[in-house]
Amino acid sequence: MDEDVNRPPEEGPSPPDAEAIERPTAGPRLGSEARLGAVVVLALIAGLVVWLLVRGNDNSTRTSRTSPQAVSTQDLAALPTTVGHPVYWAGPSRDFTYELTRTSDGRIYIRYLPAGVAVGSNQPKYLTIGTYPVQNALAAVRGIAKGLRVTAMKLNGGGAAVQDTKHPSSVYFAYPGSDYQVEVYDPSPARALQLVVSGKITRLESTRGPTQPALARPKAATVQQLRALESSLGHAVYWVGPQAGVTYELTKTGDSRIYIRYLPSGTKVDDQKPHTTVGTYPFPNPVAAVKSIAKETGGRIFSIAGGGVAAVDGNHPTSVYVAFPGSNYQIEVFDPSTVRARRLVSSGLVVPVR
C-alpha cells in the first residue's frame, strides 16, 4: 500500500557446473556476486534444482540478457502488452529508479534503485521483483515448499507462497491457472514477506486474470457503512478515527485486504494523489513480523496503547506497521508525511472502526 510506492520453463536450461551450484550469501544481484531466481522447481519432474543467473555472463550460451535500463512507469505499463503476459512489480515509488532487465528465456526483473545508485549496480541491496515463465507455476511453488520441507502459505484466491528458509530474502508465489511464478527479493526478509502477504506485488497490466486477486472499485463510505462492514466480516477493521470534513474511501480486495483512505474535502474518490490510508491485512504472526521489519530496515519500534507494537519502515518511513497480540491481522498506516504517519500511530488513534 505504500503509495509512493508479487523460472525458467519446465524444460529450462541445464544447471550450471558444480562450482556454480553454491548460492552466495550476499543477496540476489543479477551479478557475479549473487543472484535472483536461484531456486527453481521443475514442477513434479526433477525436484529442486539450484540454478545461477549471472549478470554480466554474456559468454553464456544458455541464457542472454538485455542490458539493464532505467524505465518510466509508462514503459513498464506497456511491457505486458509487449511480452504478451503478466509482469509484476511493487507499485510506483517516486523516490526510486525502475531498472528493467530481461533474459532470453523469458525472465523479467524490475529493480527499485534509490536515488544516486547507478543502473546496473552489482550491490545486492535493492528490492527486486522477478516474473518467470513456469509451467503450472502454482505446483512449482508448492514444490519449492516441499523441497524446503515447509508448508506453503495460502493466499486468498487460491494462491500459494513460500519463503526460502535458507535464503529468506526471497519469497515465491503463484496463483491457479498461471504459467508465471513471481519472486520477491528484499534485503529485509520481513519486508519481502510483508510485500507478498499484504498484496503489494501486483500485475502491471490493467486486466486482472486468475493470477491477480480482484481489486474492488474504491467507493465513498459513511461511518455507519464502515461499521457494518466490520460486523459482516467478523474481524476488526482499523482506521485512525473519525475526522471532520473528509470523505472515507473504502477499497476491498479479493484476498481480504481492506483500505480506508481519508480524502480531504473536494477530493474525488480514486484520486491518484497520496492521502492518509489505513490498511488491514490478514497476516500470520503479525507481532513478530512487525518487530522484524524494524530490526531489518533500521526503523524505530515502539509500544502503543492496547498492548500493540508498531514499527516504522526504515526504507519507506511514510509507512508504519502495527500489530496487536492475539490478532491475525496486521495494520499499515500510510501518510505522505513521515512525521504524521508516526504521530497517528503513537497517539493511539489506530483502533477498530467499531
**Per residue in 287-303, pLDDT tens?**
888 888 777 777 888 99
pLDDT the model gives residue 10: 30
Which of 30-34, 274-278, 350-354 has the weakest average pLDDT? 30-34
Predicted confidence (pLDDT) at residue 213 exceeds the cutoff of 50: no
Nearest alpha carbon to residue 209 among 299, 31, 87: 87
pLDDT the model gives residue 83: 85
Q: What ranges do the domains of the chain cover? A: 18-203, 219-352
Dihedral angle over CA of 341, 304, 240, 252, nearest 10: 90
Q: What is the mean pLDDT of residues 126-148?
A: 91
Predicted confidence (pLDDT) at residue 208 exceeds the cutoff of 50: no
Predicted confidence (pLDDT) at residue 152 exceeds the cutoff of 80: yes
Contacts of 135 (CB under 8 A, 6+ apart): 9, 10, 43, 179
Residue 341 confidence class, pLDDT cut points 50, 70, 90:
very high
pLDDT the model gives residue 298: 77
The C-alpha cell 486482472 sits at 208
Residue 173 confidence class, pLDDT cut points 50, 70, 90:
very high
58 versus 281: the higher-pLDDT residue is 281
pLDDT the model gives residue 216: 62
Nearest alpha carbon to residue 303 among 346, 257, 269: 346
Predicted confidence (pLDDT) at residue 50 exceeds the cutoff of 60: no
Share of the chain above pLDDT 70, in %: 77
pLDDT the model gives residue 16: 26
Predicted confidence (pLDDT) at residue 80 exceeds the cutoff of 80: yes
Q: What is the mean pLDDT of residues 252-257?
A: 75
Q: What is the mean pLDDT of residues 227-238?
A: 93
| Beta-ladder partners of 41 | 48
Contacts of 316 (CB under 8 A, 6+ apart): 2, 4, 5, 93
pLDDT the model gives residue 63: 55
Q: How many CB atoms lie within 10 A of CB 105?
A: 17
> What's the CA gap between 321 and 332, in Å, rounded?
5
Q: Average pLDDT, whole number, for the chain? A: 77
